Homo-oligomer: A and B are copies of this chain.
């Protein structure tokens, strides 16, 4: 398992490999402009639904990193239109990618927004100057 040095108060983006500082992230590091708060709130609101969290969990669970939408209806115990609705919300929020292959549509996670939210939730350990 790869391992590297990471500062308590820093955070390495999994994609860009760049270090960012969650201490200075929008959410918990200071005053937020209303627009920024609105953007972030939208993402959190999308996550604030049990069915959507279950969907994300099921997708993340796949070894291939993707899953057919047809395999998501039964485990959720919701109707097909409802599951389709939730997938659309997740997709339009930028949390999921989708790819059509024939009749089926495969969904996979988009890592960046999750990492952005993670950074935003980091609590500053050192008081702001």
Contact = CB atoms under 8 A, between A and B. Distances in A.
A41 interface: yes
B41 A57 contact: no
Contact of A1 (B8, B48, B127): B8
Q: Work out how many copies of this chain go into the complex.
A: 2
Contacts of A29: 57, 60-61
A58 interface: yes
Given A6-B6, A123-B14, A50 B60 contact: no
A32 B4 CA distance: 29
Given A32-B53, A60-B123, 12 more contacts: A1-B8, A1-B126, A3-B5, A8-B14, A27-B60, A29-B61, A34-B54, A37-B57, A41-B52, A41-B53, A46-B48, A114-B123
A13 B4 CA distance: 17
Interface residues of A, number: 57
A60 to B, nearest CB: 4
Contacts of A100: none
Contacts of A118: 118, 121-122
